[in-house]
Amino acid sequence: MELKVESISKKFKNDSSFQTVLKDLDFTVREGQFVTLLGPSGCGKTTLLTIIAGFQAASGGRVLINGCQVTRPGPDRGFVFQNYALFPWMTVRDNILYPMKQRKVPGKEREKRLEELLGMAQLEGKEKLFPHQLSGGMKQRVAFIRALAGKPEVLLMDEPLGAVDMQMRQSLQDDLEVLWLKDKTTVVMVTHDVDEAIYLSDRVIVMSAQEGKIVEDLPVRLPRPRDRKGMEYHKHKERLAEALRIAMGKRPESPEAKRQLCLA
């Protein structure tokens, strides 16, 4: 599996003028990589993700999956929505079976995969519940395994933890990491949270508020599960925070200047 983003541009038309959100973006994601797109709000990271998903068309450039150009949504790219978008009129079971039914997976195999996925997400016994009867964390896990059920080549996640508070967020990040380690699908995730980006990903791409330009492409090679208090972790965090500051169009603040401020 290889996901290739080739000089993607996106312009939106406002009444008379054009607004360029993305301009000539290039990067390649390799098999099994967990890549995070990080950036200030309005930098076009979600737009880029929906272009990869095929929900909207790019104004220029193309997205290739295993050399095939993306033109519309397809089961080769699973998508986890910010608000989960679980179908409220279906039970957990039917929600998870939906992608498999669409891909015409035979009944027996379907049941087996369902069991496997429920076990993976520790949701056994919950399959008869409706989404509104689940807690936020359970919904998130259902959304995750539903997106995996059709065995996509790549999983796209749009701020999957955007709607939860800080403490909940950290424990859900653990859940997400555990789930991902069991499956090792290629992931492209969008977030605006530096900590989340380092904790989860193998590689962080920082996008600028100006036309989505890539200001930093940082590999994270820390052993998992990651120690949030470790020295290396902290270094990565500072580097990304710096990159984010540049991305927002602010003057970079050097560690030197910061230290001087502390002393003064």
Partner 1 sequence: MEPLGDKARVFNSRNTRLMREKIMGGQVHKQLLYPLITIAVVFGVWQLAANHYNSEFMMPSPCKTMVTFASVVHDPEVIKNLLITLKRVLTGFFYALLIGVPLGFLMGYSKTAMRLFDPLIDSLRQIPIMAWVPLTIVWFGLGDGPTIFLITFSGVFPIIINTVAGVQNISRDYYNAARSMGGGSWSIFTKIIVPASLPDILIGSRVAVGLGWMSVI
Beta bridge partners of 18: 13
Instruction: Tell me the closest approach of the beta carbon of residue 154 to partner 1, in angstroms.
Output: 11
Please choose, from the candidates 235, 231, 178, 225, the residue with its C-alpha nearest in 3D space to the C-alpha of residue 199.
225
Tell me how far, at minimum, the Cβ of 141 lies from partner 1, in Å: 16
Rank residues 24 and 94 by Cβ distance to partner 1 and give the closer one. Answer: 94
Residues binding partner 1 (CB under 8 A): 53-55, 72-75, 77-79, 81, 83, 85, 87, 89-90, 98-99, 102-103, 146-147, 149-150
Q: How far is the CB of 10 from partner 1 (least distance, A)?
A: 17
Task: Find tokens 């925070």 and name the residue.
Answer: 241
**How far is the C-alpha of 231 from the C-alpha of 78, rounded, in Å?**
35
Q: Choose between 18 and 87: whose C-beta lies nearer to partner 1.
A: 87
Q: Which CB atom, from 102 or from 260, has the smaller least distance to partner 1?
A: 102
Contact at 8 Å (CB) between 53 and 79? yes
3-state secondary structure of 44: coil
Q: How far is the CB of 32 from partner 1 (least distance, A)?
A: 21
Closest separation in Å from C-beta 210 to partner 1: 28
Length of the chain, in residues: 264
Q: Are strands 60-65 and 34-38 parallel, antiparallel or unpaired?
A: unpaired
The residue among 75 and 162 lying less far from partner 1, judged by its C-beta, is: 75
As a whole number of angstroms, the distance between CA 34 and CA 95 comes to 25
Q: In terms of CB distance, is 23 or 77 closer to partner 1?
A: 77
- Nearest residue to 199 via CA among 33, 83, 39, 36: 36
